[in-house]
Amino acid sequence: MTRSVGSGESVRLGFATVDIGREQRQGLPEVVYGPGKSAAEITAIVSVLLERSTGPVLVTRIDPGEADAVLASLGSGSYDRSARLLSWRPSPPDLGWRAAVVTAGTSDGAVADEASAIARAIGLDVTDIRDVGVAGLHRLLERVEELRAADVVVVVAGMEGALASVIGGLVAVPVIAVPTSTGYGAALEGVTALLAMLSSCAAGVTVVNIDSGFGAAMAAFRLTRTGARTRTDR
Amino acid sequence: MTRSVGSGESVRLGFATVDIGREQRQGLPEVVYGPGKSAAEITAIVSVLLERSTGPVLVTRIDPGEADAVLASLGSGSYDRSARLLSWRPSPPDLGWRAAVVTAGTSDGAVADEASAIARAIGLDVTDIRDVGVAGLHRLLERVEELRAADVVVVVAGMEGALASVIGGLVAVPVIAVPTSTGYGAALEGVTALLAMLSSCAAGVTVVNIDSGFGAAMAAFRLTRTGARTRTDR
Amino acid sequence: MTRSVGSGESVRLGFATVDIGREQRQGLPEVVYGPGKSAAEITAIVSVLLERSTGPVLVTRIDPGEADAVLASLGSGSYDRSARLLSWRPSPPDLGWRAAVVTAGTSDGAVADEASAIARAIGLDVTDIRDVGVAGLHRLLERVEELRAADVVVVVAGMEGALASVIGGLVAVPVIAVPTSTGYGAALEGVTALLAMLSSCAAGVTVVNIDSGFGAAMAAFRLTRTGARTRTDR
Amino acid sequence: MTRSVGSGESVRLGFATVDIGREQRQGLPEVVYGPGKSAAEITAIVSVLLERSTGPVLVTRIDPGEADAVLASLGSGSYDRSARLLSWRPSPPDLGWRAAVVTAGTSDGAVADEASAIARAIGLDVTDIRDVGVAGLHRLLERVEELRAADVVVVVAGMEGALASVIGGLVAVPVIAVPTSTGYGAALEGVTALLAMLSSCAAGVTVVNIDSGFGAAMAAFRLTRTGARTRTDR
Amino acid sequence: MTRSVGSGESVRLGFATVDIGREQRQGLPEVVYGPGKSAAEITAIVSVLLERSTGPVLVTRIDPGEADAVLASLGSGSYDRSARLLSWRPSPPDLGWRAAVVTAGTSDGAVADEASAIARAIGLDVTDIRDVGVAGLHRLLERVEELRAADVVVVVAGMEGALASVIGGLVAVPVIAVPTSTGYGAALEGVTALLAMLSSCAAGVTVVNIDSGFGAAMAAFRLTRTGARTRTDR
Amino acid sequence: MTRSVGSGESVRLGFATVDIGREQRQGLPEVVYGPGKSAAEITAIVSVLLERSTGPVLVTRIDPGEADAVLASLGSGSYDRSARLLSWRPSPPDLGWRAAVVTAGTSDGAVADEASAIARAIGLDVTDIRDVGVAGLHRLLERVEELRAADVVVVVAGMEGALASVIGGLVAVPVIAVPTSTGYGAALEGVTALLAMLSSCAAGVTVVNIDSGFGAAMAAFRLTRTGARTRTDR
Amino acid sequence: MTRSVGSGESVRLGFATVDIGREQRQGLPEVVYGPGKSAAEITAIVSVLLERSTGPVLVTRIDPGEADAVLASLGSGSYDRSARLLSWRPSPPDLGWRAAVVTAGTSDGAVADEASAIARAIGLDVTDIRDVGVAGLHRLLERVEELRAADVVVVVAGMEGALASVIGGLVAVPVIAVPTSTGYGAALEGVTALLAMLSSCAAGVTVVNIDSGFGAAMAAFRLTRTGARTRTDR
Amino acid sequence: MTRSVGSGESVRLGFATVDIGREQRQGLPEVVYGPGKSAAEITAIVSVLLERSTGPVLVTRIDPGEADAVLASLGSGSYDRSARLLSWRPSPPDLGWRAAVVTAGTSDGAVADEASAIARAIGLDVTDIRDVGVAGLHRLLERVEELRAADVVVVVAGMEGALASVIGGLVAVPVIAVPTSTGYGAALEGVTALLAMLSSCAAGVTVVNIDSGFGAAMAAFRLTRTGARTRTDR
């Protein structure tokens, strides 16, 4: 029966139902969202994923203390503190897909770190460009060639999020905008940047959730599912 | 008693209390907001203003039909259809203050028309720069010298309103941002542009109400109250 | 100077500044947004685009009456009434990129029509799948193979927008979610679907503005800028 | 006089007016909401309820420390830490009403724990199904028979809340949707899931407040007031 | 394959995919939402439903003109103008389930009419109680016995929606609250009543979408799927 | 039984339940809200009220055409077009309670007209003060003595609603603030004035719904229920 | 000059400008809002008020530690911990004005405590009625006579705030509704109760800010400015 | 190339791209926003700015501990605790531009402190006027001459923000309104004051972000870029 929706195997742990078929359906094992799970629960889920899949296994938004506990239990894996990411079996960067991860300001750095670290762990070739917001436009214009060399540009910006529109007008490839909660008052915890990016005058910019470096990296990965097939199937 | 708040004379018309002292306090007679007033009411108010003040008399946001009725009753005045503005005794443009009124897109034109027409009627020297939104950044960069020649830049933009931040970073003089209701969906009838402009990463940009070309022109006029004194008093 | 931001030629029409460089920068001439422009203005802009570029020229969200006036003035072009789209020089569908445009309900049809018509006009090969919302899940499951055959899936849904998450979990390729204003009350004119799609539990789904079939088609086109290079440059 | 609204007896404690008639009117004693009440106040209220009613007495959302103090004062009762529930005299599960409590993700577990614990305490027969969100649809489809065996399905989901619509389309019995505050950014602390569930394309899904496992359990209990009568009165 | 989600037959009409399996899965054929569909489309869908199912066929929110066109094409069916409902093959009211549909004010009448008409068409026995809002509480208290005689109470109220809480405290059976868009200003088109009902101090009240008499009737019908089984299976 | 909530008589008209006891409980017959009721329904309700009560009978927010129909059916009553109010048996202004109704601008006039007309019809002695908004503060300061002579001040203001705070600081008596939907953009249809008035720095200002001249008049009337007793009972 | 707005004396402390004229203008010295002021600042302001006025001096929302520091510095005054109120020279309760302060639930107690304590300190005769929310309506109906004996009723309620409407329909005198932040989720930190109270179907209910027991007490005090004059001046 | 947008030099520090050209473009070096940056990062950025520019170098919103670390590393600079501002090389106050910084209440003091301290550091001549909110209007009227002596008035107010409108009507020069998060409940963390100021009935008031003393000071500085030129160029 479960074949009707593709590779549908799953493992029930009581508190969780691990989706074993995801790697076959989507090219990557399920990524574990850390918040709200104990180290023991994470350890159990990661164990299943390591055993029942072959690709990179990731846990996002996990604090150092809990990360240490998981690493100790499993005896393997590595932790990236700035990205708050636990990883096992990262992909080699051989897919030939280049992502530029760009921030408007220094304080957008943590979200960009998450996007870059995950993108690298799942096999993308990442270029980081930081603090090139539109208040000093020449900082961005100096980097246009780097932006144009990418297959996909992830734009990470808070406050008014104007950088997404400006880059959207400068490059031809997919632009994935990540609004951040940087700013105060009228920035409304990232809602303003979110709405602004969705209303962008640059055609074809797409948007993921506030502060979701994870979402942007995964959206970038989806592109490779197309390109990969393009090169081989046709 | 009323001297305590400056030139406080007023004329009571029953449905309205005309503020006669405003010209002395602020340099311009009261500007009449058209909506919700009958042609007869507008005529009565304008008559008082023409009689009891000496500067330009303006009625904003008035439709052609009602404008015609007022013009017919009073036997003077002129109507600017694109700006929906009735005016009497416009100031000559001799104040030496230059305002640039810039739009992001063609559909922001009506709001810019109101800003420009009022600014001209109250004595500013206005340069119009249209449709230089950030999706095609070179259109703006071609005009930077014109922007820098102004004493104040009024930026009229809807959707994500990014143009205000970009210009805010390019010029040193006051930037007055006017969010417009251009756009749909997440543009939220101008609220998104408003919030974005308030959250601008360019320091010292100020903002007026959505679609308020009038507010921007009046804010620009306030600058002249400072400059004028600067040249004469000090 | 304008070379600093790429092919930056522009043509000033007074009411508009046509971005001539966009075709070189992004692979397509500027697409004209119809609302708020007169037939004469649209005719003038389209004339410039036809003369100064070589690819498809499009005007979106234009009503039949105004479309007829433009077509009459220019003596060429065609109008798609359901998509409210004027077009000249549509691309042949030879890029080898397949897009599936899927709706949750019949009333999402108009937005999907816009997405499909634009996508076809700019050279994508489009499959339409209609009315497969999650209240009758088997309707969607019957079409999984068609979805998986696409390079990109555009999901058009109003109300709670759940279809985007379900499809996001079923396919590996990019999923571009278009929230629609279908529904009433708590659907908040599409804001609920928008927020829901942004909060999707399916990783890597990206979102465009409410009712923006145009935005989805353009985002899909950006994918081809990557893939095209992939096939030739590497 | 108070008979006019049914069994209206009450006990005044100064800081509270305990509704003694509720058990007769609605089949259960008043359930005590813990937050904002001291252990002494809770003890006093519970004492009254134990004395003046016969059914289960419950205190919700109470932390371990305060729970211990209440248990110590009263010398009876038990505490469920995951559900944060104090209870006395739980009903035996003999009503013959089966409720399925289903979550979309692991982090919705705490709300589901509250729903399940209260439902059990008031006599429902509960089946827990966890972490079957729509990103891995087969996990849900594997459980359809279990869902269809229930008299009522409580769906606990945060983020975009899509699970409620999918289940709403799969089962015929009442579906009570509980939005949770799981997620971040556009999830708006559960408001997005709430709005999405209210806008569900699956007909006849009903919704309770965000994170209100309590509300869902009580709504499920109301069903038994109908069924119970059905079996006996007709 | 489609058997995995129950009776999954469907009929593709191009613009729509009619869910034929719904009657078997949920006890009623798909109900057609009228807005945004042409008379021809509605006629086509209704024809399929009449042919491939046996229960009541309904079209909601349809205006008189369009309703006449559909009735003329099909040569059967009847139209309820106050409920804006087209129906064929209504169920006989023999299920033994009694619903009370109660309004707070006269202006909530149209929503209540929709709820009552649909509920009757699908076999419920409906009692209408109108205009018993809490500003004149005695009007409600006079009707308490009627309310308590029902198996389910649908409470239709706009403005502050207080009636749902009051009734929720008076009856033991399920209370389905329908917020309406009655009121102005702070009533926010029904959002205030919606939020208020979700925040009800009466435990176990559930809520459907604003103005959704349809949703309430369908939620009431779901109760019968439980009760019906209860009486026969156990 | 209904005596438990005071004079609880009511008359059931099917579409309405007229609260006959309201005059005894609150000093005035029920006021009829016009929107959403047909002329026939209004006529029926007014007939009952005229027959079963003795005080003023009012219908609010009724358009001229419908008002004429009601007046024709009943053969009595009068209509105030600016206040959109139908009335029968207005009270004589002999209660000795003076209300000042003040507006910030001319466009707040319609709401003030409703407040004044109803207040007069129910026996208050009303002074109208119009267009004394804070942009020309001296206009207000000229009227302070008139304000201080009132027993209650109703402040009607849109946009930022600042007038309520200023008057709240100038007078000692009750200030009832009525936000209006005057303004545009950030005025948010009156929500901004509403929030501002609720956040007033002047202590003890109270607020009614947006545009609710009716609510203010009724709140003013409630004061007389206190004062009247004060003068007689003590 | 300052006489133009009444008794306008003030004392400048650098960080504050104490309004000495308020007692003469409004019958009470300025009430000090505690948050954001140091004990030293509060001490300085209170000293001025004690010296330059004769009535009660109050500081609201002050924590025990800071209150102790102020009391120690000044050597007089008393602190009410539940109301978080510091007071000097409370008025004797001889004004003959009776206020009922009513809560819907136990958790609304703190706001009611503030209202009651301030009302008593400024000379009102207060009756406290607690925990009579509409989920157990008989608790309220038992107290109707007490409510009707008051000159003004302050209704303190969170969640859906229905109690204000019910009481508004039961009593004739002014009803001042205080929404509280009690509740969670859809209660939106008190916004829902606020909107609901403003949309009340009971005519003439007025509303103050969320959790503002202070605002309600001051609004009640304003009533006495009317009544007091009524008894003496006329 | 970067000359196309003015003096565009920049220094890349990896985590930041310091905009060296800003001093030439806008008259002041980049101001550093403190939050989210480590003391080491701030030290590095400040070092670059001190070396590569000549004007005042500022770091805003920095806490004492971090400020001490930066000061220790650099061996120069000074810290203003109330304004939370680090500064090096403040401008002498010789520009001849006078700014009045006015607050409505004592609790708006911190925001005003930031505005004043920055304004002074960048060369404006600042007058502080505190606690003159409209509830005691005479406090403001006593200061009108001081207000009128300024070239620009910064109005800092929370709650309903009415002070901006009142001052906007009293002075002719630019008024920059700074909404603050002072207040609670309906004040919505400053959003209410923000919306109110944007909706001001006083023409030409402009607004900056909530709590942004920094934004107001920078907007005031922009005025000097106009005036300075006025005096020298014309």
ipTM of the complex: 0.94
Low-confidence ranges of chain B (pLDDT < 50): 1-6, 228-229, 231-234
Q: Tokens for B99?
A: 């305002």
A170 pLDDT above the threshold of 80: yes
Asked if A108 reaches chain C (Cβ–Cβ under 8 Å), the answer is no
G111-140: pLDDT as tens digits: 999 999 999 999 999 999 999 999 999 999
> Nearest by CB to C138, which of E5, E181, E194?
E5
Asked if A45 reaches chain B (Cβ–Cβ under 8 Å), the answer is no
Q: How confident is the model at residue D46 (pLDDT cuts 50, 70, 90)?
A: very high
pLDDT score recorded for residue D9: 87
Cβ of C212 within 8 Å of Cβ of B185? The answer is: yes
Q: Tokens for G147?
A: 């409510």
Average per-residue pLDDT for chain C: 92
Q: How confident is the model at residue G231 (pLDDT cuts 50, 70, 90)?
A: very low
H232 pLDDT above the threshold of 90: no
H214-231: pLDDT as tens digits: 999 999 999 999 864 554
Residues with Cβ within 8 Å of E138's Cβ and at least 6 positions away in sequence, in order, are: F2, F4, F5, F6, F8, F9, F10, F19, F21
Q: Report the half-sphere exposure of E156 (CA within 13 A, side-chain side).
A: 30
What pTM was estimated for this model as a whole?
0.95
Residue G67: helix, strand or coil by DSSP? helix
Are the C-beta atoms of residues E116 and E191 closer than 8 Å to each other? no
Average per-residue pLDDT for chain A: 92
- Burial readout B22-48 (b: 16 or more C-beta within 10 A, e: otherwise): bbebbbbbbbbbbeebebebbbbbbeb
Interface A-E: count of C-beta contacts within 8 A: 9
**Of E8, G200, D156, F109, whose CA–CA distance to B35 is shortest?**
F109
Q: Tokens for A72?
A: 């100790």
Asked if E2 reaches chain A (Cβ–Cβ under 8 Å), the answer is yes
H20 pLDDT above the threshold of 60: yes
**Of B102, B108, B39, whose CA–CA distance to B74 is shortest?**
B39
User: Is beta strand H10-12 parallel, antiparallel or unpaired with respect to H17-19?
Assistant: antiparallel
Cα–Cα dist E22/D203, whole Å: 11
| Surface of D (3-32) touching F: CB under 8 A | 3-5
pLDDT average, residue stretch D77-103: 92
User: Is beta strand B98-103 parallel, antiparallel or unpaired with respect to E175-179?
Assistant: unpaired
User: Interhelix angle for F162-170 vs H162-170, to 10°?
Assistant: 90
pLDDT score recorded for residue D36: 86
Identity at G49, one-letter amino acid code: L
Cα–Cα dist G194/G200, whole Å: 10
Residue H140: helix, strand or coil by DSSP? helix
Average per-residue pLDDT for chain E: 92
Phi-psi region of F25 (alpha: psi -120 to 50; beta: other; left: phi over 0): alpha
> Which chain A residues are Cβ-neighbours of H190 within 8 angstroms?
185
Q: How confident is the model at residue C8 (pLDDT cuts 50, 70, 90)?
A: low
> Which chain F residues are Cβ-neighbours of D3 within 8 angstroms?
1
Cα dist from A144 to A170, C4, F126, whole Å: 8, 9, 69
pLDDT average, residue stretch C33-53: 95
| Surface of B (126-165) touching C: CB under 8 A | 130-132, 135-139, 141-142
10 Å Cβ neighbour count for E64?
10
Cα–Cα dist D69/D50, whole Å: 17
> Which chain H residues are Cβ-neighbours of A187 within 8 angstroms?
209
A232 pLDDT above the threshold of 70: no
Q: How confident is the model at residue G36 (pLDDT cuts 50, 70, 90)?
A: confident
Cβ of E226 within 8 Å of Cβ of D174? The answer is: yes
C146-159: pLDDT as tens digits: 999 999 999 999 99
Residues with Cβ within 8 Å of H204's Cβ and at least 6 positions away in sequence, in order, are: B208, B215, B217, B218, B219, B220, B221, B222, H168, H174, H175
Q: How confident is the model at residue F187 (pLDDT cuts 50, 70, 90)?
A: very high
> Nearest by CB to E172, which of D5, D27, D217?
D27
Share of chain G above pLDDT 90, in %: 89
Identity at G160, one-letter amino acid code: E
pLDDT average, residue stretch G50-57: 97
A67-80: pLDDT as tens digits: 999 999 999 999 99
User: Is beta strand F78-80 parallel, antiparallel or unpaired with respect to F85-88?
Assistant: antiparallel
pLDDT average, residue stretch C78-104: 92
Burial of H65 (0-12, 13-18, 19+ CB in 10 A): exposed
Q: Which residue has the higher pLDDT, A227 or F192?
A: F192
Q: How confident is the model at residue F9 (pLDDT cuts 50, 70, 90)?
A: confident
Q: Tokens for D205?
A: 């899904």
Average per-residue pLDDT for chain D: 92
> Which chain G residues are Cβ-neighbours of H182 within 8 angstroms?
36
C167-195: pLDDT as tens digits: 999 999 999 999 999 999 999 999 999 99
C200 pLDDT above the threshold of 80: yes
Are the C-beta atoms of residues F103 and F112 closer than 8 Å to each other? yes
pLDDT score recorded for residue H83: 97
> Which chain D residues are Cβ-neighbours of A210 within 8 angstroms?
184-186
What is the helix (H) or strand (E) element at residue D175, kind and residue range?
strand D175-179
pLDDT average, residue stretch G72-78: 97
Identity at A220, one-letter amino acid code: A
- Of B70-74, C89-93, E125-129, give the lowest mean pLDDT range: C89-93
F229 pLDDT above the threshold of 70: no
H1 pLDDT above the threshold of 80: no
F231 pLDDT above the threshold of 50: no
D153 pLDDT above the threshold of 50: yes
Share of chain C above pLDDT 90, in %: 89
pLDDT score recorded for residue H9: 87
D217 pLDDT above the threshold of 90: yes
Are the C-beta atoms of residues G162 and G199 closer than 8 Å to each other? no
Cβ of E105 within 8 Å of Cβ of F33? The answer is: yes
Interface D-E: count of C-beta contacts within 8 A: 134
Q: Tokens for C201?
A: 């539990």
Mutate to test the interface with H, among A106, A140, A182 (most CBs of H within 10 A): A106
Phi-psi region of G20 (alpha: psi -120 to 50; beta: other; left: phi over 0): alpha
pLDDT average, residue stretch F193-212: 98
pLDDT average, residue stretch H141-154: 96
Are the C-beta atoms of residues H209 and B210 closer than 8 Å to each other? no
H106-123: pLDDT as tens digits: 999 999 999 999 999 999
Cα–Cα dist E19/C137, whole Å: 9
Cα–Cα dist D153/D136, whole Å: 20
pLDDT score recorded for residue B226: 86
H27-75: pLDDT as tens digits: 999 999 999 899 999 999 999 999 999 999 999 999 999 999 999 999 9
> Which chain F residues are Cβ-neighbours of G176 within 8 angstroms?
206
DSSP secondary structure string, B89-133?
SPPPS-S--EEEEEESSGGGHHHHHHHHHHHHHTT-EEEEE----
Identity at H64, one-letter amino acid code: P
pLDDT score recorded for residue B1: 31
Q: How confident is the model at residue E71 (pLDDT cuts 50, 70, 90)?
A: very high
Q: How confident is the model at residue A96 (pLDDT cuts 50, 70, 90)?
A: confident
Phi-psi region of G78 (alpha: psi -120 to 50; beta: other; left: phi over 0): beta
D99-108: pLDDT as tens digits: 999 999 999 9
Cβ of A160 within 8 Å of Cβ of B161? The answer is: yes
As a whole number of Å, the CA-based R_g of chain H is: 18
Are the C-beta atoms of residues G10 and H139 closer than 8 Å to each other? yes
User: Interhelix angle for D162-170 vs C162-170, to 10°?
Assistant: 90
Q: How many Å lie between the alpha carbon of E152 and the closest alpha carbon of chain F?
A: 21
Cα–Cα dist C178/C183, whole Å: 14
10 Å Cβ neighbour count for E63?
12
D43 pLDDT above the threshold of 90: yes
pLDDT score recorded for residue F93: 75
**Of F21, F27, F23, whose CA–CA distance to F3 is shortest?**
F21
> Nearest by CB to D36, which of G106, G139, G141?
G106
Mutate to test the interface with B, among A106, A148, A170, A192 (most CBs of B within 10 A): A192
B184-209: pLDDT as tens digits: 999 999 999 999 999 999 999 999 99
User: Is beta strand G57-60 parallel, antiparallel or unpaired with respect to G85-88?
Assistant: antiparallel
> Which chain G residues are Cβ-neighbours of H184 within 8 angstroms?
209-212
DSSP secondary structure string, H109-131?
HHHHHHHHHHHHHTT-EEEEE--
Mutate to test the interface with D, among G138, G141, G148, G192 (most CBs of D within 10 A): G138
Cβ of E185 within 8 Å of Cβ of F209? The answer is: yes
Backbone angles phi, psi at B124, to 5 degrees: -85, 155
Cα–Cα dist C205/C169, whole Å: 9
Average per-residue pLDDT for chain F: 92
> Which chain B residues are Cβ-neighbours of G5 within 8 angstroms?
4
pLDDT score recorded for residue A94: 64
Q: Which residue has the higher pLDDT, H1 or C74?
A: C74
Q: How many Å lie between the alpha carbon of E120 and the closest alpha carbon of chain F?
A: 18
pLDDT score recorded for residue G9: 87
Cα–Cα dist F207/F192, whole Å: 13
Cβ of D10 within 8 Å of Cβ of G136? The answer is: yes
